[in-house]
Structure 1
Amino acid sequence: MYIALSWRNLWRNKRRSLIAAASVFFAVLLAVVMRSVQNGSYAYMIHSSVKFYTGYLQIQGKGYWDNRSLDQSIVINKKQQQEILNIPHVISAVPRLEAFSLVSHEKVTKVSQIIGIDPILENNMTELKKKLVKGKYLTDSPDGVLIGQGLADMLKVSVGDSVVLFGQGYHGVIAAARLPVVGIVKFPISEMNNAMVFLALPNAQNIFSAYGKITSLAIMVDTIKNQNKVYKSLKAMFNNQYTLMTWQEMMPDLVQGIEIDNASGLVMLIILYIVIAFGIFGTIMMMTSERAKEFAVLISIGMKKIRLIWVSSLETVFLAFLGAFAGTVVSLPIIFYFHYNPIPITGNAARAFDTLGVEPIFNFSTEPSIFINQAIVVLIIALATALYPALFIGKLDPVKAIKS
Structure 2
Amino acid sequence: MKTGIAFLVAGYVLSQFYRAFLAVLTPVLGAEIGAGPEALARASGLWFLAFALMQIPVGAALDRIGPRRTASVLLAIGGAGGATIFALAEGPLAVQAAMVLIGIGCSPVLMASYVIFARMFRPAVFGTLAGAMIGAGSLGNILGAAPLAWTVEAVGWRETLFGLAGVTLVVALALYRFVQDPPPVVLTGEETKATLLDLLKVPGLWAILPLMAVSYAPAAALRGLWSGPYAERVFGADVTVIGTVTLAMGLAMVAGNFAYGPLDRVFGTRKWVVFWGNTLAATCLAGLWLFPASGLGTATALLAGVAIFGSSFPMIMAHARGFFPAQLVGRGVTFLNMFGIGGAGIMQFASGRVYNAAAVGAATPEAPFALLFLFFLVPLILGLALYLFSRDAPH
TM-score normalised per structure 1: 0.28
Which is higher, the Rg of structure 1 or of structure 2? 1
TM-score normalised per structure 2: 0.28
- Larger proportion of helix: 2
